[in-house]
Amino acid sequence: MTQAYDTDDKRWAAGRARDRDADGHFFTAVRTTGVYCLPSCAGRPKRENVEWYDTAEQARARGFRPCKRCRPDEARERLRHASAQTGLGLVTVAVSDKGLRAVVFGEDDLQRRFPKAYLAEDAAGLAPVLAEVAELVAHPGRPSKLKLDERGSELQAAVWKALRAIPAGTTASYAEVARAIGRPSAVRAVAQACGANPLAVVTPCHRVVRSDGSLSGYRWGPERKRALLAAEAAA
């Protein structure tokens, strides 16, 4: 339990504010309905009918059942996130206990991207990560020391690993990446894996081009792709 939610008054205030940052820190149980909820749940119980538990297990042990609206019993992870301006616009990072989960340009709905995650903004705690990512945006050819928590299918993982093996300042075609992972006929799947890359710049999908050398699509816009390649070429 963090100090932000270490008293009943603070927990009640978080519930009234539907504070998503509080999700996962405690659970709100409602005696009149017999359910327990996330602090961000849309329900509006009276305070005299509420009690709080540090874990879902504690709430269930007291006879409460999970709310069908906010589904507090679903498997969830806690992600900290923060954003900063870079030379290529706003960048947002999301970090789990195991490492970097996402690096995205522009406005991004993290709740839609991670619908089962507890999201907590942590600008101060993630300042070193943001600084490292901003440095990668400015100098995309430098190696990254960031620990990754990369999740995807077996093919996606192979593609993303191959992307990180493309030397800075060079490019590869989708067909070349397909051959590199031992799946020469999977060119379309390689393109889809590039589009699903959750770690902009860190996993350099911007280095993949069409077979004729022309720029292909880029999830975060062709101008950013062109700028990243130009920065690597000039280094």
Q: Which residues are catalytic?
A: 37, 205
Residue ranges of alpha helices (H) inside the chain are: 8-16, 56-61, 110-113, 127-138, 154-164, 174-180, 187-195, 222-234
Kindly give, in sequence order, each residue whose CB lies less than 8 Å from that of residue 46, ignoring residues fewer than 6 positions away. 32
SS (HEC) of 183-233: CCCCHHHHHHHHHCCCECCCCCHHHEECCCCCCCCCCCCHHHHHHHHHHHH
Instruction: Tell the residue number behind the tokens 């990512």, with chain if given.
Output: 133
Rounded to whole angstroms, the Cα distance separating 144 from 58 reads 42
